[in-house]
Amino acid sequence: MLKKLLEADAIGLRLEWVGGLPLWEAQPTYRHQKAVDRIRQSLRPKEGAPCACVHVANVYVRFPDGSYKRPDIAIFCREPEELDEAITLLPEAVVEVVSRGYEAKDLEIGPRFYLSQGVKDVVVFDPYTLLVLHLRRDGASRYVSPVELELEAGCLLTV
């Protein structure tokens, strides 16, 4: 499966396999990448937190149900072991930056999927409206960017 996903990437498509369904989108725009870079630069562990807040961008993660997704930012408490294949370590949190034309994927499909797989925090940022959604199993909060968030793992980030 990963081979087919990487072949799609080679022709300029971001392909994911979620719950047995293929999802695709075009490569991110400069606005999207700037937002991802800015958020990643702000990520850090809260003082005394046991989590290292390791973050990677746009890397395939294989989830417990066998799905492959490429979160814009995946946050782990330790370095994943996989260097040349999809990461199998479950992220503590993910951040998705909304892509124009793919709002349903980023705002509806992704958050439900991540939470169903055990991801503790899902953050969705819309760089066009500055809406920030912070979702957990017990509910969701809405903010306007810029806002500093604290994740369950003890990581801090500014969205």
* Averaged confidence pLDDT in the chain: 93
Least confident of 2-16, 91-105, 124-138: 2-16
Tell me if 99 sits within 8 A of 28, measured CB to CB: yes
**DSSP helix/strand/coil, 109:** helix
Confidence of residue 96 (pLDDT cuts 50, 70, 90): very high
The DSSP output letter for 50 is S
What average pLDDT does range 55-81 have in this prediction? Answer: 96
Report pLDDT digits (tens) over 118-156.
999 999 999 999 999 999 999 999 999 999 999 999 999
- The CA distance from 65 to 145, in Å, is 33
Given a cut of 80, whether residue 105 has pLDDT beyond it is yes
Q: How many whole angstroms from its chain centre is CA 91? A: 9
pLDDT recorded at residue 15 = 76
Edge to edge, the sheet with strand 93-97 lists 54-57, 73-76, 93-97, 121-125, 131-136, 139-144
Domain 28-158, CATH among 3.40.50.1100, 3.30.2020.30, 2.40.110.10, 3.90.1570.10: 3.90.1570.10
Report pLDDT digits (tens) over 17-49.
888 888 877 778 999 999 999 999 999 999 999
What's the number of CA atoms in the CB half-sphere (13 Å) around residue 28?
19
Least confident of 25-29, 55-59, 98-102, 106-110: 25-29
The type of residue at 10 is A
Tell me if 21 sits within 8 A of 70, measured CB to CB: no
pLDDT recorded at residue 2 = 67
**Residue ranges of the domains in the chain?**
28-158
Between 97 and 84, the higher pLDDT residue: 97
